[in-house]
Structure 1
Amino acid sequence: MRILVDADACPAKHIIEEVAENFNKELIFYCDLNHIISPSYGEVKYMDSGFQSVDMKIANDTKEKDIIVTQDYGVAAMVLGKGAYAINPKGYIYNDENIDKLLFERHISSKVRRGGGKTSNPKKRKDEDDERLYKNLLKLVKEYDNLANRELTMDN
Protein backbone atom coordinates (compact mmCIF):
# COMPACT_ATOMS: atom_id res chain seq x y z
CA MET A 1 0.00 0.00 0.00
CA ARG A 2 1.22 3.42 -0.98
CA ILE A 3 -0.08 6.93 -0.49
CA LEU A 4 -0.31 8.91 -3.73
CA VAL A 5 -1.03 12.63 -3.54
CA ASP A 6 -2.46 14.94 -6.19
CA ALA A 7 -0.16 17.65 -4.89
CA ASP A 8 -0.80 20.58 -7.25
CA ALA A 9 -3.31 22.20 -4.92
CA CYS A 10 -3.05 20.08 -1.79
CA PRO A 11 -2.91 22.35 1.29
CA ALA A 12 -2.15 19.64 3.86
CA LYS A 13 0.98 17.91 2.60
CA HIS A 14 2.60 18.07 6.05
CA ILE A 15 -0.21 16.00 7.59
CA ILE A 16 0.04 13.36 4.88
CA GLU A 17 3.83 13.23 5.31
CA GLU A 18 3.46 12.75 9.06
CA VAL A 19 1.06 9.82 8.74
CA ALA A 20 3.08 8.16 5.95
CA GLU A 21 6.35 8.49 7.84
CA ASN A 22 4.90 7.32 11.17
CA PHE A 23 3.56 4.16 9.51
CA ASN A 24 6.51 3.70 7.15
CA LYS A 25 4.34 3.93 4.02
CA GLU A 26 5.64 4.78 0.58
CA LEU A 27 4.57 8.34 -0.25
CA ILE A 28 4.52 9.85 -3.73
CA PHE A 29 3.54 13.43 -4.55
CA TYR A 30 2.46 14.14 -8.14
CA CYS A 31 2.53 17.67 -9.50
CA ASP A 32 3.12 19.55 -12.70
CA LEU A 33 6.19 21.59 -13.48
CA ASN A 34 4.47 24.80 -12.33
CA HIS A 35 4.54 23.58 -8.72
CA ILE A 36 7.88 22.88 -7.08
CA ILE A 37 7.59 21.11 -3.74
CA SER A 38 10.20 19.78 -1.33
CA PRO A 39 8.69 17.27 1.06
CA SER A 40 10.61 16.13 4.12
CA TYR A 41 9.37 12.57 3.50
CA GLY A 42 8.43 10.83 0.27
CA GLU A 43 9.25 11.45 -3.36
CA VAL A 44 7.94 13.84 -6.00
CA LYS A 45 7.01 12.92 -9.55
CA TYR A 46 6.73 15.86 -11.93
CA MET A 47 4.52 15.86 -15.02
CA ASP A 48 4.26 18.22 -17.96
CA SER A 49 1.82 21.06 -17.42
CA GLY A 50 -0.71 19.63 -19.87
CA PHE A 51 -4.43 19.34 -19.17
CA GLN A 52 -5.14 16.42 -16.81
CA SER A 53 -1.54 15.11 -17.06
CA VAL A 54 -1.15 14.74 -13.28
CA ASP A 55 -4.61 13.23 -12.90
CA MET A 56 -4.03 10.63 -15.59
CA LYS A 57 -0.59 9.70 -14.21
CA ILE A 58 -2.06 9.13 -10.76
CA ALA A 59 -4.90 7.03 -12.18
CA ASN A 60 -2.47 4.97 -14.26
CA ASP A 61 -0.01 4.43 -11.38
CA THR A 62 -2.68 3.48 -8.83
CA LYS A 63 -2.74 -0.10 -7.59
CA GLU A 64 -5.35 -1.92 -5.54
CA LYS A 65 -5.33 -0.83 -1.87
CA ASP A 66 -3.32 2.38 -2.50
CA ILE A 67 -4.60 5.52 -0.78
CA ILE A 68 -5.09 8.48 -3.11
CA VAL A 69 -5.38 12.03 -1.76
CA THR A 70 -7.18 14.22 -4.29
CA GLN A 71 -9.78 16.97 -4.55
CA ASP A 72 -10.76 15.77 -8.02
CA TYR A 73 -13.92 13.65 -8.11
CA GLY A 74 -12.95 12.21 -11.49
CA VAL A 75 -9.62 10.95 -10.16
CA ALA A 76 -11.39 9.58 -7.08
CA ALA A 77 -13.89 7.69 -9.26
CA MET A 78 -11.12 6.19 -11.40
CA VAL A 79 -9.05 4.97 -8.46
CA LEU A 80 -12.06 3.60 -6.59
CA GLY A 81 -12.72 1.53 -9.69
CA LYS A 82 -9.23 0.05 -9.32
CA GLY A 83 -9.86 -1.02 -5.72
CA ALA A 84 -7.94 1.86 -4.13
CA TYR A 85 -9.01 4.16 -1.31
CA ALA A 86 -9.64 7.86 -1.99
CA ILE A 87 -9.74 10.78 0.43
CA ASN A 88 -9.80 14.52 -0.15
CA PRO A 89 -7.47 17.03 1.56
CA LYS A 90 -10.28 18.05 3.93
CA GLY A 91 -10.44 14.46 5.16
CA TYR A 92 -13.66 13.30 3.52
CA ILE A 93 -13.42 9.72 2.30
CA TYR A 94 -14.76 9.00 -1.17
CA ASN A 95 -16.47 5.65 -1.63
CA ASP A 96 -18.79 3.78 -3.97
CA GLU A 97 -21.82 5.13 -2.10
CA ASN A 98 -21.00 8.86 -2.44
CA ILE A 99 -18.92 9.25 -5.61
CA ASP A 100 -21.83 9.11 -8.09
CA LYS A 101 -23.67 11.87 -6.22
CA LEU A 102 -20.54 14.03 -6.11
CA LEU A 103 -19.91 13.56 -9.84
CA PHE A 104 -23.55 14.42 -10.61
CA GLU A 105 -23.37 17.59 -8.48
CA ARG A 106 -20.16 18.59 -10.28
CA HIS A 107 -21.90 18.06 -13.64
CA ILE A 108 -24.91 20.19 -12.62
CA SER A 109 -22.64 22.98 -11.30
CA SER A 110 -20.70 22.93 -14.57
CA LYS A 111 -23.94 23.29 -16.56
CA VAL A 112 -25.03 26.22 -14.38
CA ARG A 113 -21.68 27.99 -14.88
CA ARG A 114 -21.74 27.39 -18.65
CA GLY A 115 -25.20 28.95 -18.70
CA GLY A 116 -23.87 32.09 -17.01
CA GLY A 117 -25.01 31.19 -13.52
CA LYS A 118 -22.99 31.23 -10.35
CA THR A 119 -22.21 28.42 -7.96
CA SER A 120 -20.80 28.59 -4.45
CA ASN A 121 -17.05 28.68 -3.93
CA PRO A 122 -15.29 26.09 -1.77
CA LYS A 123 -15.26 27.04 1.90
CA LYS A 124 -12.07 28.34 3.45
CA ARG A 125 -9.92 25.66 5.08
CA LYS A 126 -10.30 25.35 8.85
CA ASP A 127 -8.39 23.59 11.63
CA GLU A 128 -11.18 20.99 11.73
CA ASP A 129 -10.28 20.04 8.14
CA ASP A 130 -6.70 19.25 9.20
CA GLU A 131 -7.98 17.21 12.15
CA ARG A 132 -10.43 15.29 9.93
CA LEU A 133 -7.73 14.57 7.34
CA TYR A 134 -5.33 13.28 10.00
CA LYS A 135 -8.01 11.12 11.67
CA ASN A 136 -9.43 9.63 8.45
CA LEU A 137 -6.08 9.09 6.73
CA LEU A 138 -4.92 7.31 9.89
CA LYS A 139 -8.14 5.26 9.80
CA LEU A 140 -7.49 4.16 6.19
CA VAL A 141 -3.86 3.23 6.92
CA LYS A 142 -4.80 1.25 10.03
CA GLU A 143 -7.70 -0.42 8.19
CA TYR A 144 -5.29 -1.57 5.50
CA ASP A 145 -2.70 -2.76 8.04
CA ASN A 146 -5.36 -4.73 9.95
CA LEU A 147 -6.62 -6.30 6.72
CA ALA A 148 -3.07 -7.21 5.65
CA ASN A 149 -2.36 -8.77 9.06
CA ARG A 150 -5.56 -10.85 8.89
CA GLU A 151 -4.62 -12.10 5.42
CA LEU A 152 -1.17 -13.12 6.67
CA THR A 153 -2.71 -14.96 9.62
CA MET A 154 -5.14 -16.80 7.33
CA ASP A 155 -2.30 -17.89 5.04
CA ASN A 156 -0.43 -19.56 7.92
Structure 2
Amino acid sequence: MKILIDGDACPVKDIVIEEAVRRKIPVTIVTSFSHYSNAEQPPGVKTVYVDSGADAADFRIIQLAVKGDLLVTQDYGLASLALPKGLTVLHHKGFQYDNDNIGQLLESRYLSAMIRKSGKRTKGPKPFTTEDRHKFRHLLVTILKEKTTES
Protein backbone atom coordinates (compact mmCIF):
# COMPACT_ATOMS: atom_id res chain seq x y z
CA MET A 1 0.00 0.00 0.00
CA LYS A 2 1.03 3.56 -0.72
CA ILE A 3 -0.60 6.89 -0.07
CA LEU A 4 -1.28 9.25 -2.96
CA ILE A 5 -1.96 12.93 -2.35
CA ASP A 6 -3.69 15.22 -4.82
CA GLY A 7 -1.23 17.89 -3.84
CA ASP A 8 -2.08 21.21 -5.47
CA ALA A 9 -4.46 22.43 -2.78
CA CYS A 10 -4.10 19.85 -0.02
CA PRO A 11 -3.98 21.45 3.44
CA VAL A 12 -3.16 18.16 5.22
CA LYS A 13 0.02 17.06 3.40
CA ASP A 14 2.00 17.53 6.59
CA ILE A 15 -0.32 15.27 8.58
CA VAL A 16 -0.27 12.56 5.91
CA ILE A 17 3.52 12.66 5.64
CA GLU A 18 3.98 12.59 9.42
CA GLU A 19 1.68 9.61 9.92
CA ALA A 20 3.01 7.74 6.86
CA VAL A 21 6.68 8.22 7.75
CA ARG A 22 5.95 7.00 11.29
CA ARG A 23 4.54 3.78 9.77
CA LYS A 24 7.05 3.51 6.90
CA ILE A 25 4.29 3.81 4.28
CA PRO A 26 5.42 5.34 0.97
CA VAL A 27 3.79 8.62 -0.08
CA THR A 28 3.50 10.10 -3.57
CA ILE A 29 2.42 13.71 -3.90
CA VAL A 30 1.11 14.54 -7.37
CA THR A 31 1.13 18.24 -8.13
CA SER A 32 1.46 20.61 -11.08
CA PHE A 33 4.73 22.24 -12.12
CA SER A 34 3.22 25.57 -11.07
CA HIS A 35 3.65 24.34 -7.45
CA TYR A 36 7.28 23.26 -7.93
CA SER A 37 9.36 23.21 -4.77
CA ASN A 38 12.98 22.46 -3.94
CA ALA A 39 12.00 21.51 -0.40
CA GLU A 40 13.46 18.18 0.62
CA GLN A 41 11.01 15.48 1.57
CA PRO A 42 11.59 12.81 4.20
CA PRO A 43 12.63 9.32 3.06
CA GLY A 44 9.71 7.46 1.50
CA VAL A 45 8.03 10.62 0.21
CA LYS A 46 8.30 11.60 -3.45
CA THR A 47 6.73 14.30 -5.55
CA VAL A 48 5.53 13.72 -9.09
CA TYR A 49 5.08 16.87 -11.17
CA VAL A 50 2.56 17.13 -14.01
CA ASP A 51 1.54 19.82 -16.49
CA SER A 52 -0.85 22.46 -15.24
CA GLY A 53 -3.70 21.15 -17.43
CA ALA A 54 -7.16 20.85 -15.95
CA ASP A 55 -7.08 17.14 -15.06
CA ALA A 56 -3.39 16.28 -15.50
CA ALA A 57 -2.86 15.47 -11.81
CA ASP A 58 -6.06 13.39 -11.69
CA PHE A 59 -5.05 11.27 -14.68
CA ARG A 60 -1.55 10.72 -13.29
CA ILE A 61 -2.92 9.70 -9.89
CA ILE A 62 -5.26 7.15 -11.46
CA GLN A 63 -2.36 5.86 -13.54
CA LEU A 64 -0.15 5.42 -10.44
CA ALA A 65 -2.84 3.97 -8.16
CA VAL A 66 -3.41 0.29 -7.52
CA LYS A 67 -6.09 -1.51 -5.55
CA GLY A 68 -5.55 -1.07 -1.81
CA ASP A 69 -3.83 2.32 -2.03
CA LEU A 70 -5.07 5.33 -0.08
CA LEU A 71 -5.82 8.64 -1.80
CA VAL A 72 -6.29 12.06 -0.20
CA THR A 73 -8.21 14.51 -2.39
CA GLN A 74 -10.91 17.14 -2.21
CA ASP A 75 -11.85 16.48 -5.85
CA TYR A 76 -15.15 14.59 -6.04
CA GLY A 77 -14.54 13.67 -9.68
CA LEU A 78 -11.16 12.12 -8.89
CA ALA A 79 -12.68 10.29 -5.93
CA SER A 80 -15.36 8.86 -8.24
CA LEU A 81 -12.63 7.47 -10.52
CA ALA A 82 -10.60 6.05 -7.64
CA LEU A 83 -13.37 4.19 -5.80
CA PRO A 84 -14.08 1.60 -8.54
CA LYS A 85 -10.33 0.99 -8.74
CA GLY A 86 -10.36 -0.23 -5.13
CA LEU A 87 -8.77 2.77 -3.43
CA THR A 88 -9.65 4.12 -0.01
CA VAL A 89 -10.34 7.82 -0.59
CA LEU A 90 -10.28 10.50 2.11
CA HIS A 91 -11.29 14.17 2.02
CA HIS A 92 -9.13 16.63 3.97
CA LYS A 93 -12.14 17.68 6.05
CA GLY A 94 -12.17 14.25 7.69
CA PHE A 95 -14.66 12.11 5.81
CA GLN A 96 -14.25 9.06 3.63
CA TYR A 97 -15.70 8.90 0.14
CA ASP A 98 -17.65 5.73 -0.55
CA ASN A 99 -20.19 4.33 -2.98
CA ASP A 100 -23.01 5.61 -0.74
CA ASN A 101 -21.97 9.29 -0.72
CA ILE A 102 -20.13 9.90 -4.00
CA GLY A 103 -23.30 10.19 -6.13
CA GLN A 104 -24.81 12.86 -3.89
CA LEU A 105 -21.51 14.77 -3.75
CA LEU A 106 -21.19 14.75 -7.56
CA GLU A 107 -24.81 15.83 -7.97
CA SER A 108 -24.35 18.69 -5.52
CA ARG A 109 -21.23 19.82 -7.41
CA TYR A 110 -23.12 19.67 -10.72
CA LEU A 111 -26.10 21.64 -9.41
CA SER A 112 -23.81 24.34 -8.01
CA ALA A 113 -22.03 24.59 -11.37
CA MET A 114 -25.38 24.99 -13.16
CA ILE A 115 -26.42 27.75 -10.75
CA ARG A 116 -23.13 29.60 -11.36
CA LYS A 117 -23.46 29.07 -15.12
CA SER A 118 -26.87 30.77 -15.01
CA GLY A 119 -25.21 33.85 -13.50
CA LYS A 120 -26.14 33.30 -9.88
CA ARG A 121 -23.73 32.92 -7.00
CA THR A 122 -23.23 29.95 -4.71
CA LYS A 123 -21.55 29.69 -1.34
CA GLY A 124 -17.98 28.51 -1.43
CA PRO A 125 -16.59 25.90 0.92
CA LYS A 126 -16.42 26.69 4.61
CA PRO A 127 -12.96 27.66 5.87
CA PHE A 128 -10.65 24.82 6.86
CA THR A 129 -10.46 24.72 10.66
CA THR A 130 -8.29 23.24 13.40
CA GLU A 131 -11.21 20.93 14.17
CA ASP A 132 -11.12 19.73 10.53
CA ARG A 133 -7.39 18.99 10.90
CA HIS A 134 -8.04 16.92 14.05
CA LYS A 135 -10.94 15.11 12.43
CA PHE A 136 -8.80 14.28 9.37
CA ARG A 137 -5.89 13.03 11.48
CA HIS A 138 -8.20 10.80 13.52
CA LEU A 139 -9.75 9.31 10.37
CA LEU A 140 -6.34 8.83 8.72
CA VAL A 141 -4.86 7.09 11.76
CA THR A 142 -7.92 4.84 12.05
CA ILE A 143 -7.73 3.86 8.36
CA LEU A 144 -3.97 3.28 8.50
CA LYS A 145 -4.33 1.03 11.54
CA GLU A 146 -7.05 -0.98 9.74
CA LYS A 147 -4.98 -1.27 6.57
CA THR A 148 -1.74 -2.25 8.31
CA THR A 149 -3.46 -4.96 10.37
CA GLU A 150 -5.00 -6.38 7.16
CA SER A 151 -1.57 -6.88 5.59
Shorter-chain TM-score bucket reads: over 0.9
TM-score (norm 1): 0.91
Aligned equivalents of 1:127, 1:58: Cα separation in 2: 27
Aligned equivalents of 2:23, 2:136: Cα separation in 1: 16
* Local SS of the residue matching 1:34: helix
Residue 123 (structure 1) aligns with:
126
Runs of 4+ in 1 over 6 A off after TM superposition: none
Please, what is the CA RMSD of the aligned residues?
Answer: 1.1
Aligned equivalents of 2:4, 2:128: Cα separation in 1: 21
Aligned residue runs from structure 1 range 1-156, under 5 A? 1-37=1-37, 38=39, 40-41=41-42, 42-148=45-151
Pair 1:39–1:114, CA change in 2 (3 A) = farther
* Local SS of the residue matching 2:145: helix
- Aligned residue pairs, count: 148
TM-score (norm 2): 0.94
**CA offset at residue 40 of structure 1?**
3.2
Give a deviation string over 1:19-40, Cα, whole Å, max 9, x none. Answer: 1111110100000000024353
* Local SS of the residue matching 2:4: strand
Residue 153 (structure 1) aligns with:
none
Aligned equivalents of 2:40, 2:9: Cα separation in 1: 14
> What stretches of structure 1 of length at least 5 have no aligned partner?
149-156
> What stretches of structure 2 of length at least 5 have no aligned partner?
none
Whichever residue aligns with residue 136 of structure 1, its letter is L
- Of 33-42 and 88-97, more deviation after overlay is shown by 33-42
Pair 1:40–1:63, CA change in 2 (3 A) = same
Pair 1:104–1:39, CA change in 2 (3 A) = farther
Whichever residue aligns with residue 103 of structure 2, its letter is D
